[in-house]
């Protein structure tokens, strides 16, 4: 079985490192991007099995990235929004724009890994 590959787009390097450690401990390969412009470019050019996306990013924000991915050839990639924006309206908008899951910070790395793995299973 090929190793699954996840792209994390988050400007907080500590969060990226924490998520990377948790995912890699479960056998998932990780790549990171710390701004929206680079993250979108990687997401559209890479061969990722899932995407973990913050909303508040330098350059393009997570809302715009989600919209662009859902209207591209990469439209079927599972997207988990991982963000500090925890209002009900934000969660609803994220899911309506195409996110498959929405997790607010602070978060449990173990729960995030479990949710990513569930999305990966459904995408197979």
> All domains of the chain, ordered by start, with CATH?
5-123 (3.40.50.2300)
- Dump pLDDT digits (tens) for 34-68: 999 999 999 999 899 999 999 999 999 999 999 99
Per-residue confidence (pLDDT) for residue 1, from 0 to 100: 53
pTM for the whole thing?
0.95
- Letter string b/e over residues 54-73, b meaning 16 or more CB atoms within 10 A of that residue's CB: bbebeebebbebbebbeeee
- Dump pLDDT digits (tens) for 55-114: 999 999 999 999 999 999 989 999 999 999 999 999 999 999 999 999 999 999 999 999
Beta strands in 1-124 (DSSP E): 5-9, 29-33, 50-53, 79-83, 101-104
CB atoms within 10 A of CB 95: 13
């Amino acid at each position: 079985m090929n190793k699954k590959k996840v792209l994390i787009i988050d400007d907080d390097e500590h969060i990226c490192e924490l998520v990377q450690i948790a995912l890699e401990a479960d056998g998932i390969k990780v790549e990171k991007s710390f701004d929206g412009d680079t993250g979108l470019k990687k997401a559209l050019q890479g061969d990722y099995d899932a995407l973990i996306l913050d909303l508040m990013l330098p350059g393009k924000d997570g809302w715009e990235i989600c919209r662009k991915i859902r209207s591209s050839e990469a439209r079927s990639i599972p997207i988990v929004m991982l963000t500090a924006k925890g209002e009900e309206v934000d969660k609803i908008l994220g899911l309506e724009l195409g996110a498959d899951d929405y997790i607010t910070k602070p978060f449990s790395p173990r729960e995030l890994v479990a949710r990513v793995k569930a999305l990966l299973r459904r995408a197979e």
